[in-house]
Structure 1
Amino acid sequence: MADDQDQESKTEEPTEKKVRDAEERGNTPSSKEAPIFASIAATLIGSVFLIRGSIGDATQFLSAFLSDPAGFDISTSRNTSTLLVFAAMQAAVFVGPLLLLFMVFGLSASFLQHPPQLALDRIKPQFSRISPAAGWKRIFGLQGFMEFAKSLAKFIAIGTVTWLILKSDKNTVVTAMLQDPSTIPEMILSIAIRLLSAACVATIAIVTVDLVWSRKSWRRSLRMTKQEIKDEHKQSEGDPILKARRLSLARDRARNRMMAAVPRATLIVANPTHYAIALRYVQEEGGAPLVLAKGTDLIALKIREIAEANDIPVIEDRVLARSLHAAVQIDQMIPPEFYKVVAELLCMVYARKVA
């Protein structure tokens, strides 16, 4: 009862992560009717292209063996072994291609539904697989009802087409006893091909419905509650509180590194209280002036405080301070449009040092 209520609460479609995790565990949609259809199709193709061509050789061998068994020397164990090897080779020539065809069609029916993968979770012992309650639920639940409906549909469809074909060939089957026995295998093969063709056509619709149903049922089993989606979002994106705390710590560390670089500045360009940009220019280092730090309000005041403590010149220029703060980033050189005005300030600073 609790399981039913829990399933009813899962009203949200599964997320991509939930689908991906299910596929990695080997929980993938699979139609049980696809391999059955593949085996019927393989039998039909084998009957048309393989059995029809090789049945003559097999019939000739069996006829020779049964009509004149004394013609085969089995007086010694070596001759007996040779006869058995020859018979086995004849059987392998007849059966081998059919087995290969069945293997190819069977693997294709599985691989076309989902790519092969190694999923150890699928082979782990689980109590639910041997639990009578779980088995009862599978048999008499929605899944069991669908399996019964598919089996009933297959039985009715294949039974109907078989009855119709045999009814139309009734006269051929009855008169077969009056014909040459050598023609009977070809007649049986022709009827079998017609039956297999009809069975393939009849099961195509069942396979199509089962493919659609299996995928819908699989996605329904992966549905999530709203709380599960929230929890998954927290796991993937991180708890908002912890995330904000991490961002705050990262900003604090970046600010501390920036403040530690201020004593290396050549000058500070400042708006009296709201903006401050620390620039470094040493001719031997090459390149344009470098931005070591920048900030507004309290950070700007802190930059000025550190500069004054280290005897770094602070030049107040409202327009330049605002423009530099908007245009430059920390640890980057100033753009070319600021070269002239900053060069004038540097000349002023160097002139003060000389004086």
Structure 2
Amino acid sequence: MQLKLDLQFFAGGAGEKTEKATPKKRQDERKKGKVAKSQDVNTAILLLCSFIVLFVFGSMMKENLTTLFEYTFTEYIEWNVTEQSVYQVFVSGSIEMAKMLAPIMIVAIIAGLAANLTQIGFLYTTEPLKMDLKKIDPIQGAKRIFSVRALVELLKSLFKIVFIGVITFAVIWLFKDDMMMLAFKNADNAVAFFGQTTIIMGISTAIALLFLSIFDYVYQRYDYEKNMKMSKQDVKDEYKNTEGDPLIKSKIKEKQREMANRRMMSEVPKADVVITNPTHFAIAIRYDENQASAPYVIAKGADHLAFRIKEIAKAHDVVMVENKPLARSMYDVIEIGDVIPEQFYQAVAEVLAYVYRLENKV
């Protein structure tokens, strides 16, 4: 019974997500649009920039709106109601409204893009727009509603409402005396007062939201990293999928080595000489003026491979010369197909001269 419990414990521990997400998983999740982002940061920056634009261009917008109303009630009101006049009024009014709202809209777009780029950089993906039946699964929906994250979001929303409500009340309380005196002011002063109060309230609220968004961003990063964690088995499976099964890779490499060795052994009969250690190393050298300006290595091996090279050389009457220091030195620094380095010219030339003499080539 105890052994069974221990096995269950370890089986559960193997699936526990304790490892940090790998770069590949992060990249895959990013392609799906899953990134650490706080919507509060976007909202705060958007509100702050919008109210700053209202503060800067507010007087101009007021003048344009006033001019539009004056022109409407002095000129347009005298026009006959026809299709052409209605169309002209609509077009003129739309153009004037567009001129007034253009600064806010442009700054809002720039602020929204800047807020997203600051948090997650450039990201374009259509994955979140794809049809996914899991999104309308009532069981999964219930789990999301009653999850810890949903509770955190609820508490965060309540805290923001209370925090912003306190700031709004504080601004109203600060200007309560001026508000009571509005009955003794003309319409222009009353509009200016409400505009000023609204901008102060908006900028104060935006700054408060920006402050709160820092904590929200930290929480979103924490929650993102927590959800991105992988189990040891997940890491192993990803490695297998990316790099291939180590067992299969070793088999492939073994086959590749066997094929390379067969090709190398097929070149040994073409060698002019095989330099040996004599037991541990064997280097097969060929000199062909049409192939290279100096002798080059067509095969080399140690231990078992050296024995095979010597066997093939002996079977095809290739001369073997024992030179322990030369064989060892060349084996360490020269690869198959390489031309003999200049440092070995003298020693190799002497060996080849000896071979040619044996074969009566000189």
Q: TM-score, normalised by structure 1?
A: 0.90
Stretch of structure 1 that moved more, 125-134 or 150-159 = 125-134
Stretch of structure 1 that moved more, 150-159 or 85-94 = 85-94
Please give the per-residue CA displacement for 1:71-119, whole angstroms capped at 9, x wherever unaligned. Answer: 6322544344333332232222222332233222233333332244443
Counterpart residue number, 1:30? 37
Q: Structure 2 residue aligned with 1:316, among 302, 315, 322?
A: 322
Quick check: 1:163 aligned with 2:163? no
Amino acid at match of 1:93: K
Counterpart residue number, 2:59? 52
Q: How much has 1:27 moved relative to structure 2?
A: 1.3
1:277 aligns to what SS in structure 2? strand
Q: Is the 8 A contact 1:34 1:109 kept in 2?
A: yes
Q: Give the alignment's Cα RMSD to 1 decimal.
A: 2.4
Q: Is there any run of 5+ residues in structure 1 with no aligned partner, and where?
A: none
CA distance 1:74–1:111, change in 2 (3 Å): farther
Quick check: 1:191 aligned with 2:197? yes
In 2, Cα distance between equivalents of 1:7 and 1:283? 63
In 2, Cα distance between equivalents of 1:132 and 1:298? 67
Counterpart residue number, 1:10? 17
Please give the per-residue CA displacement for 1:198-231, whole angstroms capped at 9, x wherever unaligned. Answer: 1012112221111111121111111111111122
Q: How much has 1:267 moved relative to structure 2?
A: 1.1
Amino acid at match of 2:21: P
1:22 aligns to what SS in structure 2? helix
CA distance 1:231–1:146, change in 2 (3 Å): same
2:317 aligns to what SS in structure 1? coil
Amino acid at match of 1:176: L
Question: How many positions carry a matched residue from both structures?
Answer: 350
Counterpart residue number, 1:78? 84
CA distance 1:39–1:6, change in 2 (3 Å): farther
Q: Structure 2 residue aligned with 1:92, among 87, 98, 109?
A: 98
1:112 aligns to what SS in structure 2? helix
Please give the per-residue CA displacement for 1:223-261, whole angstroms capped at 9, x wherever unaligned. Answer: 111111122223333322222212211111111111111
Counterpart residue number, 1:295? 301
Q: Is the 8 A contact 2:144 2:150 kept in 1?
A: yes
Quick check: 1:246 aligned with 2:256? no
Counterpart residue number, 1:335? 341
Q: Is the 8 A contact 2:292 2:339 kept in 1?
A: no
Stretch of structure 1 that moved more, 316-325 or 143-152 = 316-325
Q: Is the 8 A contact 1:51 1:94 kept in 2?
A: no
Counterpart residue number, 2:230? 224
Quick check: 1:126 aligned with 2:171? no
In 2, Cα distance between equivalents of 1:341 and 1:108? 70
Q: Is the 8 A contact 1:165 1:195 kept in 2?
A: yes
In 2, Cα distance between equivalents of 1:299 and 1:333? 21
- 1:270-281 pair list within 5 angstroms: 270-281=276-287
Stretch of structure 1 that moved more, 114-123 or 129-138 = 114-123
In 1, Cα distance between equivalents of 2:95 and 2:76? 21
2:119 aligns to what SS in structure 1? coil
CA distance 1:164–1:247, change in 2 (3 Å): same
Counterpart residue number, 1:62? 69
CA distance 1:291–1:13, change in 2 (3 Å): same
Amino acid at match of 1:54: M
Q: How much has 1:270 moved relative to structure 2?
A: 1.8
Q: How much has 1:23 moved relative to structure 2?
A: 0.5
CA distance 1:83–1:17, change in 2 (3 Å): closer
In 1, Cα distance between equivalents of 2:331 and 2:82? 105
Q: Is there any run of 5+ residues in structure 2 with no aligned partner, and where?
A: 1-11
Amino acid at match of 1:205: F
In 2, Cα distance between equivalents of 1:81 and 1:327? 88
Identity %: 29
In 1, Cα distance between equivalents of 2:134 and 2:269? 69
CA distance 1:285–1:161, change in 2 (3 Å): closer
CA distance 1:246–1:171, change in 2 (3 Å): same
Q: TM-score, normalised by structure 2?
A: 0.88
Counterpart residue number, 2:262? 256
Stretch of structure 1 that moved more, 70-79 or 287-296 = 70-79
Q: Is the 8 A contact 1:150 1:206 kept in 2?
A: no
- 1:106-125 pair list within 5 angstroms: 106-125=112-131
Q: Is the 8 A contact 2:33 2:127 kept in 1?
A: yes
Counterpart residue number, 1:269? 275
Quick check: 1:349 aligned with 2:335? no
Quick check: 1:137 aligned with 2:143? yes
> Runs ≥4 in structure 1, deviation > 4 angstroms?
5-8, 68-71, 283-286
Counterpart residue number, 1:213? 219
CA distance 1:346–1:170, change in 2 (3 Å): same
Q: How much has 1:8 moved relative to structure 2?
A: 8.3
2:230 aligns to what SS in structure 1? coil
Q: How much has 1:353 moved relative to structure 2?
A: 1.9
Quick check: 1:305 aligned with 2:348? no
